[in-house]
Amino acid sequence: MRRIIAEPLTREAFAEFGDVIDTDWPDHFPINGGMTERYHDLARVEAEGPNARVLISIFRGKPYAFPLELAMVERHPFGSQAFMPLEGRPFLVVVCHDGQDGPGEPHAFMTAPGQGVSYPRNCWHAVLTCIDEPQDFLVVDRGGDGSNLEEHHFDEPFQIHLPGMTL
């Protein structure tokens, strides 16, 4: 099995796969009489295709066992998908470049507490992957007609390790 060790999630490392959602952002300003700080325009939301609309949902994820055996990734051809943890605990993000015959080799990232991500349309990514305990996420994605899900099953799974795990 091929091994990958998750690296810390930073804007620079993740930029080619989507947006990091957090408050470490230069475009912020006070609103509501100075009682609220608005962190503005953190991620692009995409909704294409017939009868497209933007959805806001809450997903409750269960934790996975690690090392994680990654056998499948998915992508959404008609819309972006953003995940923001509501409890502020870290989670695992796995993404792949689009290759000639499907997704390329996975890249794994560990979020810092309070970080979320937004995947653009057609970005290959693993399913929501919680660590240690269940966690709720605010999710913004696309609704509408047409199939907005493609799955790819790897011929040989990858083994994803969290930072500090022994190989």
> What's the CATH number where 7 sits?
2.60.120.480
CA distance 96 to 17: 8
Q: Is residue 37 part of a domain?
A: yes
Q: State the pLDDT at residue 110.
A: 96
Domain membership flag for residue 166: no
The confidence score (pLDDT) of residue 88 equals 86
What does the pLDDT read at residue 36? 87
Query: Does residue 167 lie within any of the structural domains?
Result: no
Q: Which candidate, 145, 111, 153, 150, places its Cα nearest to that of 128?
A: 111
78: left (phi over 0), alpha (psi -120 to 50) or beta: alpha
Q: Which domain, by its residues, includes 70?
A: 2-161
Q: Is residue 35 part of a domain?
A: yes
Retrieve residue 61's tokens.
């994820």
141 within a domain of the structure (yes/no): yes
Look at residue 49 and tell me if it is in a domain. Answer: yes
- Tally of domains within the chain: 1
Low-confidence ranges of the chain (pLDDT < 50): none
Answer yes or no: is 109 within a domain. yes
Q: Looking up tokens 């007609």, which residue turns up?
A: 145
Task: Please check whether residue 15 lies inside any domain of the structure.
Answer: yes
67-84, pLDDT tens digit by residue? 999 999 999 999 999 999
Question: 95-122: per-residue pLDDT in tens?
Answer: 999 988 899 999 999 999 999 999 999 9
Amino acid identity, position 33 = G
